[in-house]
Chain A
């Protein structure tokens, strides 16, 4: 392989080879049991590391209980000569989200399906405003997310059991919002991890974007009522919701946001489900506030991960500067 001429059509591996990341074993405690005990206002613990893939400009790895994904950032690099847009005043961002074939219960093909493409464009929307693209003319930045494991719709989740007959009063709510919650958690993870990877790549941004997701539930009894009066029931807001709804609750809506905490701006918003408008848009507002709170919580983790690179650069600069002790210009 190495003796041959380099293959120009693919992203070649570095000639010096790469080293696989080694994680310290922490598998003593089972992660699944923790989810049940989590209060609704608390998000799951996030593991986020940057710089694990040596061959790309920036990378990160994120783990939120069952969800595992890795992000690579390639570029900024020149636009290909064959591109349909040979000139761009601002960097062209492309995002790609792909589930590994083994990442969910049902096998996914190698070609991206419509939900993966949709996640990709959601991620694009979340990041594109935050990157200072005007600083990178005539270049492109690629963000590639690979989802290695996900909490997906599962066996009894996206399905109904026919033996029980079509007692549709029990089955009525089974499918509402399940896929949205599952994809929402994935998308929020993608946004957070992609921001960390962009920071790791040293690409200038206005602010880091952190992902947050929240769901609103009502008592099942209330939602089965007339439908119009469901606003009277007590609402339960859950940040970073699990795919299975809490016992006795019916889901109303899920909100995923990409949030720039330092600017207090939402770069990406995705609400799915039903929100009443009896009191104007307060129902939506409350849900968005919950998602913002979840995004703020994950921002803390993101900040720590972004610091890694700064520490690395500072450490390197100090080493080269030696005893001179020059101030280091920090960017990003």
Chain B
């Protein structure tokens, strides 16, 4: 099911036409690659290792808290086996009970695709899945966040990333969720280990937060990943689409990228199809993405988004309690 939209078929058709013009006219008169302003705060939850609050027009508001727990390497099948993928747990919760109300819990993030199983037990598992996927893939070339979670022999941090959506009736964009997770990760600090690395005794930590260790070292790369929704209508490509634009779009993607150097260039760490409304077009025109359009959409993300991620990172570091 496409995200719920209050627009009627004629309205969608009007929107479709204005977005397929050259140059396109967006309802809020933004440029095709322009992002909407956001309000972003971080490090404000006292009980968390990292936290963030993101407020976006239309998409609403969400809070992310990251808590880390010391955990012994668990073994599953045999005594020798460690399942590292379980070291990170992401949950997306919708405030106010979730399942009631239009759009709540169903298709959170726009790409969880409530179409699967009629959205009945969908909840927000979909959003958690792709958020985690981007996080784990973000280090494929020799760096992994999982390596950062190793404390000492036999011990690791277990990271709980809890996303709370405060506006249950809106349809949150993937951008909201991933921006919030990105900022929270960027502001996450772990207490410094005081016991030796190579001993498998219970590790001990310094209680001085002034010498705590950042999860993502602010001076190093890659930075935490971020997922950007991108839609296309005709040959026009739009970044940060609004709910109405998603409803009218022909195709959509969520491109997950990570910043790889200080100049603002990015690597792609994931691309996923995004569910769109196909609301305004004529039937039988475009049913999928051709490769030329795919190239165009991903290029738009890669070239335009570096600056956005960089700016967000700078905002995070400015707000950090240790800055």
Which chain A positions have C-beta within 8 A of B244?
none
Which chain B positions have C-beta within 8 A of A268?
273, 288
A162 beta carbon closer than 8 Å to chain B: yes
Which chain A positions have C-beta within 8 A of B150?
166, 168
Contact status B287-A260, CB under 8 Å: yes
- Once the chains are docked, how many angstroms separate the CA of A289 from the CA of B294? 12
Contact status A281-B288, CB under 8 Å: no
User: Contacting chain B: which of A67-75, A120-128, A322-330?
Assistant: A120-128
Q: Give per-residue flags for A135-160: 1 if the beta carbon is below 8 A from chain B beta carbons, else 0.
A: 00000000000000000000100111
A227-B143, A281-B302 known; A114+B129 contact, CB < 8 A: yes
User: Of the candidates A265, A283, A288, which one forms a contact with B286 in the assembled complex, judged by CB atoms under 8 Å apart?
Assistant: A265
Contact status B126-A269, CB under 8 Å: no
Contact status B115-A281, CB under 8 Å: no
CB distance from A279 to the nearest CB of B (A): 11
Q: Give per-residue flags for B214-242: 1 if the beta carbon is below 8 A from chain A beta carbons, else 0.
A: 00000000000000000000000000000
CB distance from B263 to the nearest CB of A (A): 12
A253-B140, A273-B270 known; A118+B261 contact, CB < 8 A: no
B312 beta carbon closer than 8 Å to chain A: no
How many contacts A-B (CB < 8 Å)?
212
Which chain B positions have C-beta within 8 A of A95?
115-117
- Once the chains are docked, how many angstroms separate the CA of A292 from the CA of B133? 23
Count, chain B residues at interface, CB 8 A: 68
* Chain A residues numbered 201-248 whose CB sits less than 8 Å from any CB in chain B: 206-207, 223-228, 230
Q: Give per-residue flags for A250-280: 1 if the beta carbon is below 8 A from chain B beta carbons, else 0.
A: 0111000011100111111111111111001
CB distance from A114 to the nearest CB of B (A): 4
CB distance from B58 to the nearest CB of A (A): 23
* Most interface-central of B1, B113, B290, B299 (chain A CB within 10 A): B113
Q: Give per-residue flags for B87-128: 1 if the beta carbon is below 8 A from chain A beta carbons, else 0.
A: 000000000000000000000000111111110011001101
Contact status B268-A271, CB under 8 Å: yes
A121-B115, A271-B268 known; A265+B288 contact, CB < 8 A: yes
B11 beta carbon closer than 8 Å to chain A: no
- Chain B, residue nearest A85 (CB): B1
CB distance from B170 to the nearest CB of A (A): 19
CB distance from B201 to the nearest CB of A (A): 15
Contact status A264-B290, CB under 8 Å: yes
Contact status A273-B116, CB under 8 Å: no
Count, chain A residues at interface, CB 8 A: 79
Q: Give per-residue flags for A292-320: 1 if the beta carbon is below 8 A from chain B beta carbons, else 0.
A: 10000000000000000000000000000
- Once the chains are docked, how many angstroms separate the CA of A160 from the CA of B83? 8
CB distance from A95 to the nearest CB of B (A): 5
A45 beta carbon closer than 8 Å to chain B: no
User: Of the candidates B118, B136, B266, which one forms a contact with A94 in the assembled complex, judged by CB atoms under 8 Å apart?
Assistant: B118
User: Of the candidates B112, B129, B266, B291, which one forms a contact with A266 in the assembled complex, judged by CB atoms under 8 Å apart?
Assistant: B291
- Chain B, residue nearest A259 (CB): B288
Which chain B positions have C-beta within 8 A of A126?
273
CB distance from B99 to the nearest CB of A (A): 11
* Chain B residues numbered 262-320 whose CB sits less than 8 Å from any CB in chain A: 265-273, 275, 278, 283-284, 286-291, 294-295, 298-299, 302
Contact status B141-A274, CB under 8 Å: yes
Contact status A179-B141, CB under 8 Å: no
Contact status A223-B85, CB under 8 Å: no
A166-B150, A265-B289 known; A117+B116 contact, CB < 8 A: yes
A207-B287, A265-B288 known; A124+B144 contact, CB < 8 A: no
User: Contacting chain B: which of A5-13, A15-23, A58-66, A170-178?
Assistant: A170-178
- Once the chains are docked, how many angstroms separate the CA of A143 from the CA of B78? 37
Which chain B positions have C-beta within 8 A of A110?
none
Contact status A161-B286, CB under 8 Å: no
Contact status B125-A269, CB under 8 Å: no
Contact status B147-A288, CB under 8 Å: no
Contact status A117-B294, CB under 8 Å: no
- Chain B, residue nearest A253 (CB): B140
B192 beta carbon closer than 8 Å to chain A: no
Which chain A positions have C-beta within 8 A of B212?
none
Contact status B115-A272, CB under 8 Å: no
3 interchain residue pairs of minimum CB distance: A121-B113, A120-B116, A265-B288
For this complex, 7 residue pairs linking A to B, each with C-beta atoms less than 8 Å apart, are: A112-B121, A123-B116, A228-B261, A267-B287, A272-B133, A274-B137, A274-B138
Measured CB to CB, the residues of A under 8 A from B are 92-97, 105-106, 111-112, 114-115, 117-118, 120-126, 128-130, 134, 155, 158-163, 165-166, 168, 172, 175-177, 179-180, 206-207, 223-228, 230, 251-253, 258-260, 263-277, 280-281, 283-285, 288-289, 292
Measured CB to CB, the residues of B under 8 A from A are 1, 73, 76-78, 80-85, 111-118, 121-122, 125-126, 128-130, 133, 136-144, 146-147, 150, 153-154, 253, 260-261, 265-273, 275, 278, 283-284, 286-291, 294-295, 298-299, 302
- Other than A176-B144, A265-B288, A277-B302, give 10 A-B pairs with Cβ distance below 8 A: A94-B116, A114-B126, A117-B129, A121-B275, A162-B82, A162-B154, A206-B287, A260-B288, A269-B253, A269-B294
